[in-house]
Structure 1
Amino acid sequence: MQILRRKLLEASRRLPFYFPSAPTAHYRGHAHAVATLAAVLRDQTAGSLAAAPWAAIQRRGAKMLGSEVKLGNVIQRRVLWITTYPIPLVNLQGRIYQVIKAQHSHQGRGGATIQVELRDVDTGNKITERFRTDEALERVFVEEKSFTYLYQEGDNVTLMEPETFEQLEVSKELFGKTAAYLKDEMKVTLQYFDGRPMSASVPPRVTCTVVEAQPHSKGITAQPQYKRVLLDNGLTVLVPPFVEAGEKIVVSTADDSYMTRA
């Protein structure tokens, strides 16, 4: 809301400082654009969204703080456009983004922030933004459906609907880096937006087999020593020194971290 008010102020400052008895078409157009923006702000302040230009495409969502943003969240970011030529237009356009990376940080006296990498759901373009932890954002809820992973061919993944047995082919990119964890008969989830698959996710915990690991050398150290091991899916993770080749371990798919022995 503060951003919208600032835009209104900036637009009003561009109005001519004189008021002719017969205003020009350009002046009337500019004034109409600012008046329309003022009406949008007034409607939002009063709690009525019916008159807002973006009301027709508004998705059901809820407010959330920047500190609550997590990987996989879908948020709406609104971009304000004000034009007076060739015709007056005020457009508050909403774009839908999925959070594909999120990292909290503290910038000295600037307060805590969160840096996120967002993917535009419509275009696939990626952008990086930084939110304050107390900044209000709008979360969009998506529909989730469960599928069974069958196989992978090239850049496509074939899934099966468990009740109807209908097969569905989706892009491997929907899984992102977690595609490495896909296994036969694994239960996966597709997130739908406007009736089309937007993203896909694997279970948060997956059991993997260690195929390569350095032998454990016993000794007393002040700090626990971790070592890198190679898993059967090609990923390398840090594990405690007692984990040996051939063992099964549970890995967090969110950050590729060791959780426990299987």
Structure 2
Amino acid sequence: MPKINGNEIRGGNVLEHNGGLWVAVKVDHVKPGKGGAFAQVEMKNLRNGSKLNERFRSADKVEKIRLEQKDQQFLYETDGMLTFMDTETYEQIELPADLLGDRRPFLQDGMIAVVEFHEAEALNASLPQKVTCKVVETEPAIKGQTASKSFKPAVLDNGVRIMIPPFVGVDEDIIVDTETMEYSERA
């Protein structure tokens, strides 16, 4: 695996550090008035979710890991574990449901998600950026309110509450951005 200098660490990089696999969540490059520059890195463990703040000088070498990404189909959830299937080999893997955090409700049966592997060990899953959902509950549009850029609360078919434009009504399909968890457009 390639080794990189401490000042080359970027957000989203996966590093092998202290015998574990860590993803760099936040990276601040600091150049103090006295002494050498360093990178202050907030990292999250990919296996157990623990967090760590570490300081890397430019002379420090860390091992950058490349994760293999495969498309996997979501099958079902049991006892807090999500089951995914490789669509080519039909091999099934399980990942903890809390890995997706507050994006979990957007995972739908049969949806294709990208699962990241390190040496045949599944570590992470990411949803498609845009997902279609149905509005099941919202306030009626008030006449004359459409001129301003206002939003109204709505409940989606998966139970998630988001803000939508006033022209969208009940039983309409909308597209939601899963990264920002916000209304994107009508479906």
TM-score (normalised: structure 2): 0.75
How far the C-alpha of 1:116 sits from its partner, in A, is: 7.9
- Structure number with the bigger relative contact order (C-alpha 8 A, sep ≥ 6) is 2
| Aligned-partner residue type, residue 219 of structure 1 | G
What percent identity do the matched residue pairs reach?
A: 33
How far the C-alpha of 1:61 sits from its partner, in A, is: 6.5
Would you say 1:195 and 2:134 are equivalent positions? no
Higher helix proportion (structure 1 or 2): 1
Change (3 A) 1:163 1:228: same
Change (3 A) 1:154 1:261: same
Which stretch has the larger CA shift, 191-200 or 219-228? 219-228
- Matched with 1:143 is 68
8 Å contact kept, 1:97–1:118: yes
Change (3 A) 1:117 1:219: farther
- Matched with 2:33 is none
- Matched with 2:21 is 96
Change (3 A) 1:116 1:222: farther
8 Å contact kept, 2:136–2:155: yes
How far the C-alpha of 1:159 sits from its partner, in A, is: 1.4
CA distance in 2, matches of 1:95, 1:177: 25
How far the C-alpha of 1:222 sits from its partner, in A, is: 6.8
| Aligned-partner residue type, residue 112 of structure 2 | K
8 Å contact kept, 1:76–1:94: no
- Matched with 1:207 is 132
Higher strand proportion (structure 1 or 2): 2
CA distance in 2, matches of 1:65, 1:241: 46
User: Within 5 Å, which residues of 2 pair with 1:1-262?
Assistant: 59-60=1-2, 69=11, 73-76=12-15, 93=18, 96-99=21-24, 118-127=43-52, 140-219=65-144, 223-262=148-187
TM-score (normalised: structure 1): 0.55
**Corresponding residue SS for 1:212:** strand
8 Å contact kept, 2:93–2:122: no
Aligned length: 170
| CA RMSD between the two structures | 3.3
Structure 2, gaps ≥5 residues long: 29-39, 57-61
Change (3 A) 1:123 1:171: closer
Change (3 A) 1:65 1:215: farther
CA distance in 1, matches of 2:161, 2:150: 16
